[in-house]
Structure 1
Amino acid sequence: MPDTPDVLGAVLAADPAHRVRAVGDLYRLLLNQEQVFPATAPAALVLACLLDDPRTLAEDRWERRAGVRSLRAELLNWLASFADIARLDVEDGVGPARDLAAARAARPMLHDRIADFCDDDDPLVREAALAATALLRADPALASSVPRYAPAVREVLAVSADSYYRWIARERLAAWGEDVTGLVTAEKERRAALDRAGELAEDPFGGQEQEQAIRWLEEQPEDTAAPEQLGRRREDRAAPIPAAPHEPAPEPPVAALWNEAGYRGPWRIARKEERAEWTFTPYVGVGPLHFGMTVKEITHVLGEEPAVSSYSHHGEAQKLNYADFAESGIRALFHDGRLGCVAADALTGPQVRLDAAR
């Protein structure tokens, strides 16, 4: 891994590939595993001073982010991650007390450099700057500026396409004593709508509803949050409640058990040598199962009796039957008595390949 001076020198490199790699190195080198190091605070101050450089207007795709954005927006996002970690405690495992103290001491200077970008014409720069400044204001010395920026956090950050920024808006507004009930409800409704549309889009017998769900999902803005954002952005920040002293310790996972309804009990992950090797052939079948088979034919091929169930989707006209083959780790779904879909259990089912891909 490169040294810190090398990384900072490459951030404004003329070669786009070098810039992208340098920003990735920043995340790994200076905020690795949600921790701060001796070089983290000085690097944050240097980066804040680079924000005015015209070269930061260069746009590209960054390895930790979805979509295209300017280097300036990405550096501001890095500074937001820095601010997120700096407000935690040594007990949270964010690094030595000395390094954390240096990170916190840098917050007022960073705030002064970043605040000007909260009104930037580029919406991605504006969002990243607001996210960083909102987190920096966890510093008691900056608390007096909260009323000035709270409306922008609600109006811009809380409705961002970036789920991390929306979380920052809810968390910070709540910390500032503002009512976030509507924002929490909107986020739950958003997730529920996406989950519902996702289920419909994957329904092999969804018909028109499936097509509508797919179109709706395609129209939704892409979540621009990094796949694994640094900082503690989980909704459930509180530690889990420990079990009472008199309660017995939980049993370790055991072999997968199935009852007569076909539901699994305690889980385990099958070893590689226990899994069958199946091949998926589009429009033909999966392994020894061919689309169009009856449950009797599948029972003969797999050599085991299934647990058969069914459910109705919008009435009997869309009744879907399925059979769970516990030993094989397979659920076979039928329409009009014929196999239409094969679901392999991710823990105990066969290893399925499409061409060379598992």
Structure 2
Amino acid sequence: MINETTPDLPDAAAGSLPPTAQAELAGTAWEELPHFCTGRHGVPDTPDILGAVLAADPAHRVRAVGDLYRLLLNQERVFPATAPAALVLARLLDDPRTLAEDRWERRAGRRPLRAELLNWLASFADIARLGVEDGVGTAQDLTAARAARPMLHDRIADFCDDDPLVREAALAATALLLADSSLASSVPRYAPAVRAVLAVSVDSYYRWIARERLAAWGEDVTGLVAAEEEHHAALDRARALADDPFGEGQEQAIRWLEAQPEDTAAPEQPGRRREDRIAPTQAAPHEPAPKPPVAAPGSEAGYQGPWRIAREEERAEWTFTPYIGVGPLHFGMTLEEITSALGEQPTISSYSHHDEDHQLNYADFAESGIRALFRGGRLGCVAVNALTGPQVRLDTAPLTGCVPSHVEDWLVHRTTLRPGSLTYSPAADPVFTDLGLAIRSQRAGDVVLTRPLFLRHDWLDLWHSLPSEEWNCS
């Protein structure tokens, strides 16, 4: 039976950082500045994350950048550690090691680490423009974030004439930092570049920043808005034709869509979702809340049939943190790291083959009772076996091996749902986007029980994310 353990931390230490970053790091009382999951087993503290950003191992760099989003800007919020971390990251930008290219979790395509750090700083600056009423942080944390903007602007300015990908990211961060009134005098310097570079980027988030900021600076954006609307209309028309097997223009539409540059924007960006940014609140007292779900009793002692259900004392007890991980597993892990964390080898590993490229789809761990699903060789989803998997709890309520309708009803009434925070898959599986949680059903003889799926942000579209083997587990 596997319980939560603390995995090894990345091999990079703060000593590998440039002297100015080391000084910034050493001069901060991090023990007083928690991030989203400070103190949780296996979750790195902020200095460990910052130290790993320049790790020699590319996998550790990618994980560290993912942790910056997951732990310091979780669900587009700032925390006590966020602003001090931003100041340290800004000290890393001129380090030659940030020129290393890789694929990062949040955005499509390859780009230098420097560009991705600037993208993180842009997200930070975007959130800093919002208010407490937008649910993005406490007044104290937002004040600290805003106070950091002038210093960040000074450190980022040198990169606005860099490599094209770095330049776009630097301009995006700069444009958002200029929301600080003390930096208003710099607007005329950057406005032409924002229009010439960001407004025509293939990245839809950059284009949105250009339109929003230029409009805020009093410039005419009518043409930019019209161009964006026409672009979306053309995409919609082409997609409709491409999906119509009887239409005359299907092949031409498919070729046109394939020729379009890939939008590198992250799935969700803070400012564009401001209208939905309402912190979840507890259900109103007058609404009768359903009782928490109860796990199905296990099979009788000695029963070893194909539908054997593990008893409560046989299941490991796991907890989960939305978009961070579940039990000892954290999103972004490799198969080797998962094998080490669970202490067992996979019983089944499924790969897809594209020419000479072999991509891992999923791996089943029979002893632990979980399936790890991958994209790009990194963990993006954990499916827990309803019959034999660990008992994963939310607010002490079980999620594994329960009556599906009871779990769904309890989750729906647990909080007041934000717009778009509950969706359904084509198989009618509820997907709770605030939790990164989907509740699927798995047969257990004559009944069905819950098979919870814990998801990274880019796995919420189950239909396009899950392999056929997972759909066949129902």
Q: TM-score, normalised by structure 2?
A: 0.50
Aligned to 2:265: 225
Query: How far did residue 228 of structure 1 move?
Result: 2.4
Residue 217 (structure 2) pairs with residue 205 (structure 1): no
Query: How far did residue 86 of structure 1 move?
Result: 0.5
Deviates most, 29-38 or 57-66: 29-38
Q: Cα–Cα, structure 1 residues 201 and 39, in superposed 2: closer, same or farther, change >3 Å?
A: same
Q: Cα–Cα, structure 1 residues 50 and 219, in superposed 2: closer, same or farther, change >3 Å?
A: same
What amino acid does structure 2 have at the position aligned with 1:137? L
The structure 2 residue matched to 1:108, chosen from 150, 153, 156, is 150
Q: TM-score, normalised by structure 1?
A: 0.66
The structure 1 residue matched to 2:197, chosen from 156, 165, 185, is 156
**Superposed CA offset, 1:77-135 (max 9, x none):** 00000000001111111111111111100000000000111111x11100000000000
For residues 183 and 57 of structure 2, the distance between their equivalents in structure 1, rounded to whole angstroms, comes to 38
Does the 8 A contact of 2:134 with 2:277 survive in 1?
Answer: no
Residue 109 (structure 2) pairs with residue 67 (structure 1): yes
**Superposed CA offset, 1:243-285 (max 9, x none):** xxxxxxxxxxxxxxxxxxxxxxxxxxxxxxxxxxxxxxxxxxx
What amino acid does structure 2 have at the position aligned with 1:80? A
The gaps in structure 2 that reach 5 residues or longer are 1-42, 279-424, 430-440, 442-462
- Aligned pairs for 1:292-307 within 5 A: none
Aligned to 2:165: 124
The structure 2 residue matched to 1:83, chosen from 82, 104, 125, is 125
- Aligned pairs for 1:35-74 within 5 A: 35-74=77-116
For residues 14 and 26 of structure 1, the distance between their equivalents in structure 2, rounded to whole angstroms, comes to 18
* Higher CA-based Rg: 1
For residues 239 and 177 of structure 1, the distance between their equivalents in structure 2, rounded to whole angstroms, comes to 26
For residues 136 and 428 of structure 2, the distance between their equivalents in structure 1, rounded to whole angstroms, comes to 37
For residues 84 and 227 of structure 1, the distance between their equivalents in structure 2, rounded to whole angstroms, comes to 15
Q: Cα–Cα, structure 1 residues 53 and 142, in superposed 2: closer, same or farther, change >3 Å?
A: same
**Superposed CA offset, 1:127-171 (max 9, x none):** 000000000000000011101100100000000000001000000
For residues 116 and 355 of structure 1, the distance between their equivalents in structure 2, rounded to whole angstroms, comes to 48
Does the 8 A contact of 1:60 with 1:68 survive in 2?
Answer: yes
Does the 8 A contact of 2:115 with 2:165 survive in 1?
Answer: yes
**Superposed CA offset, 1:285-316 (max 9, x none):** xxxxxxxxxxxxxxxxxxxxxxxxxxxxxxxx
For residues 247 and 167 of structure 2, the distance between their equivalents in structure 1, rounded to whole angstroms, comes to 41
What amino acid does structure 2 have at the position aligned with 1:132? A
Does the 8 A contact of 2:215 with 2:221 survive in 1?
Answer: yes
Residue 46 (structure 2) pairs with residue 4 (structure 1): yes
Aligned to 1:22: 64
Aligned to 2:24: none
**Superposed CA offset, 1:156-202 (max 9, x none):** 00000000010000000011111111111000000000011011111
For residues 356 and 40 of structure 1, the distance between their equivalents in structure 2, rounded to whole angstroms, comes to 40
For residues 346 and 355 of structure 1, the distance between their equivalents in structure 2, rounded to whole angstroms, comes to 13
Q: Cα–Cα, structure 1 residues 198 and 137, in superposed 2: closer, same or farther, change >3 Å?
A: same
Query: How far did residue 356 of structure 1 move?
Result: 2.8
State the percentage of identical aligned residues: 82
What amino acid does structure 1 have at the position aligned with 2:260? Q
What amino acid does structure 2 have at the position aligned with 1:233? R
Does the 8 A contact of 2:135 with 2:277 survive in 1?
Answer: no
Does the 8 A contact of 1:11 with 1:18 survive in 2?
Answer: yes
What amino acid does structure 2 have at the position aligned with 1:163? S
For residues 147 and 222 of structure 2, the distance between their equivalents in structure 1, rounded to whole angstroms, comes to 33
Does the 8 A contact of 2:83 with 2:145 survive in 1?
Answer: yes
Aligned to 1:356: 469
Aligned to 1:173: 214
Does the 8 A contact of 1:168 with 1:233 survive in 2?
Answer: no
Does the 8 A contact of 1:31 with 1:82 survive in 2?
Answer: yes
Q: Cα–Cα, structure 1 residues 178 and 238, in superposed 2: closer, same or farther, change >3 Å?
A: farther
Q: Cα–Cα, structure 1 residues 135 and 354, in superposed 2: closer, same or farther, change >3 Å?
A: closer
For residues 356 and 105 of structure 1, the distance between their equivalents in structure 2, rounded to whole angstroms, comes to 50
What amino acid does structure 2 have at the position aligned with 1:181? T
Query: How far did residue 346 of structure 1 move?
Result: 3.6
Aligned to 1:314: none
Query: How far did residue 354 of structure 1 move?
Result: 8.6
What amino acid does structure 2 have at the position aligned with 1:70? P
How large is the RMSD of aligned CA atoms in angstroms?
2.3
